[in-house]
């Protein structure tokens, strides 16, 4: 059995992995960059190794430094979490070459499913439906335009090597097509170092529904039911629930079967997710496979009672799955809200800072996966997630009510957060009635019409003033009002965010 695991990540996911390791009596090693020196995951681990400065390329993404940290500490295995090196086939191979267990799939599975055009081709051969569009990454804009005309506008231009909404453009007419292709290529090049893009049909009223997969090294593959992730901003998820209220038993079974076939087609091992889009006619299409643990995995754990991190570790150690498909049952309903340090009023721009107050909700059926505690700081160097708030209840209606209660108890000051947006969503009739799609934010979210967003802004102005005093800025800017200081802070964060796009 694995005795020591290095977690090649940070924040809440690093902590979440380490907690399961501790329950399994496995020692843990944290890696950290300079600004993360006093972070929770570093304090929690049995050992820690500094791997570089703030820039991810100099720390968490530096394969040599991560491998050296593992060898230095006598690590048996590396868990990559999500993001950073989690879907990097080169890293998976390097671990294998160094005699270190990679807690995740093999490099070939990562490569196949990471290249979106290769994945589409493989899914077609496996009988998994894909949206109509180009079969390969396009080299000629005019050829791609011809395909776009054939499938019919609107279409999506998407990065072949990407994910997470980056390198994606919705194109509604021919006139905008060439410019959208160039914009998508530029963003894909900056985000993934690969500017290949492809075209597929843009689906009407799409719902984003995914299936959790587990597979062992003996070829056994099961699904752990579905999650709906249609509440998004910038094509990135904010709220998830399990199971989806859209699916009936027949459609759920059909999609689950397709998801298992998809995983088997790439000889998958470990935990992974097959993502689908479902249109207004309830026809589903393969979107992508995430060859790692998902941010939203807690809702699946809540409805199945299965610890996905433990399952990953045991599969990586060569153990067979301890259950068959017939053994897995879903109970009740779970909802997750991602609590980001973002300003929902201002297009969800980051609103990072020190958490002068961070009091989490509790009670039966409430789970908080947090990566920062009161007094800690959400920095501009990394993803602005503070925590994931998840709840579980016997029915969807009760889960929504429990989430509203939990959100009302969650107290954060020092930065603006997505808490008011999550509360708005829980109370909206479209969400309550499960009549929503990925356009929920542009269709329904008008923050200036709701008092709760104004109140959060007032609280944040006070927090900014306190932050300035704590950091010594008050002495230099004593004549500035809290509002003026907040404006300066906001402008810095806006400039940083635009520079990353």
Annotated catalytic sites, by residue? 292
For residue 258, how many C-alpha atoms fall within 13 Å in the half-sphere facing its CB? 29
Eight-state DSSP code of residue 133 = B
Residue 366: both structure tokens together = 């409430």
**Adjacency order of strands within the sheet including 168-171:** 168-171, 155-159, 197-201
How many CB atoms neighbour CB 140 within 10 A?
8
Please give the C-alpha separations between residue 260 and each of 211, 306, 380, in angstroms, as whole numbers: 9, 18, 38
Per the rule left: phi > 0, alpha: psi between -120 and 50, beta: everything else, 493 is alpha
The answer, yes or no, to whether the previous bond of 221 is cis (omega within 30 of 0) is: no
- Give me the sign of the Cα torsion angle 81, 87, 91, 95: positive
* Spatial CA neighbour of 72 closest among 47, 42, 53: 47
- Give me the sign of the Cα torsion angle 424, 430, 434, 439: negative
Alpha helix (H) residue ranges in 268-395:
297-304, 308-316
Sorted by sequence, the CB contacts under 8 Å of residue 89 that are 6+ apart come out as 107, 108, 110, 111, 114
Report the Cα–Cα distance between both ends of the chain, in Å, rounded: 43
Please give the C-alpha separations between residue 119 and each of 196, 287, 366, in angstroms, as whole numbers: 14, 9, 37
Whether residue 265 contacts residue 286, with contact meaning beta carbons closer than 8 Å, is answered with no
Whether residue 148 contacts residue 176, with contact meaning beta carbons closer than 8 Å, is answered with no
């Amino acid at each position: 059995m694995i005795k020591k695991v290095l977690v090649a990540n940070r924040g809440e996911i690093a902590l979440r992995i380490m907690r399961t390791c501790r329950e399994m009596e496995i020692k843990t090693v944290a890696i950290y960059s300079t600004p993360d020196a006093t972070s929770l995951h570093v304090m929690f681990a049995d050992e820690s190794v500094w791997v570089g400065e703030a820039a991810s390329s100099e720390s968490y993404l530096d394969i040599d430094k991560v491998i050296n940290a593992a060898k230095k500490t006598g690590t048996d295995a590396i868990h990559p979490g999500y993001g950073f090196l989690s879907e990097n086939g080169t890293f998976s191979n390097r671990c294998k070459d160094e005699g270190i267990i990679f807690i995740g799939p093999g490099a070939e599975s990562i490569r196949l499913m990471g290249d979106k055009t290769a994945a589409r081709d493989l899914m077609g051969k496996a009988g998994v439906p894909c949206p109509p569009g180009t079969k390969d990454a396009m080299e000629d804009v005019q050829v791609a335009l011809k395909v776009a005309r054939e499938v019919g506008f609107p279409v999506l231009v998407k990065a072949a090597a990407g994910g997470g909404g980056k390198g994606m453009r919705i194109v509604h007419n021919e006139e905008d097509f060439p410019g959208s292709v160039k914009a998508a290529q530029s963003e894909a090049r900056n985000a993934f170092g690969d500017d290949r893009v492809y075209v597929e049909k843009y689906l009407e009223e799409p719902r984003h529904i995914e299936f959790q997969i587990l597979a062992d090294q003996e070829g056994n593959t099961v699904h752990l039911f579905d999650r709906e992730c249609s509440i998004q901003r910038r094509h990135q998820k904010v709220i998830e629930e399990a199971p989806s209220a859209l699916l009936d038993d027949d459609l759920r079974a059909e999609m689950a079967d397709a998801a298992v076939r998809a995983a088997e087609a790439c000889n998958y091992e470990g935990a992974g997710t097959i993502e689908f889009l479902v249109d207004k006619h309830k026809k589903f299409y393969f979107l992508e496979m995430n060859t790692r643990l998902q941010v939203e995995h807690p809702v699946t754990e809540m409805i199945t009672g299965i610890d996905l991190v433990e399952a990953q570790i045991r599969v990586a150690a060569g153990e067979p799955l301890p259950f068959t498909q017939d053994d897995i049952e879903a109970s009740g309903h779970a909802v997750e809200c991602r609590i980001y340090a973002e300003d929902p009023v201002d297009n969800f721009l980051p609103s990072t800072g020190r958490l002068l107050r961070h009091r989490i909700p509790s009670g039966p059926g409430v789970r908080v996966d947090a990566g920062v505690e009161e007094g800690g700081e959400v920095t501009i160097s990394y993803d602005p997630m503070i925590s994931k708030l998840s709840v579980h209840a016997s029915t969807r209606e009760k889960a929504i009510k429990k989430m509203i209660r939990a959100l009302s108890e969650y107290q954060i000051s020092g930065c603006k957060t997505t808490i008011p947006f999550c509360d708005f969503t829980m109370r909206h009739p479209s969400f309550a009635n499960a009549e929503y799609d990925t356009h929920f934010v542009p269709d329904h979210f008008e923050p200036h019409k709701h008092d709760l967003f104004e109140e959060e802004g007032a609280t944040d102005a006070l927090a900014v003033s306190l932050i300035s005093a704590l950091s010594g800025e008050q002495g230099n800017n004593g004549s500035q009002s809290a509002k003026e200081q907040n404006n300066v802070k906001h402008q810095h964060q806006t400039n940083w965010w635009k520079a990353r796009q």
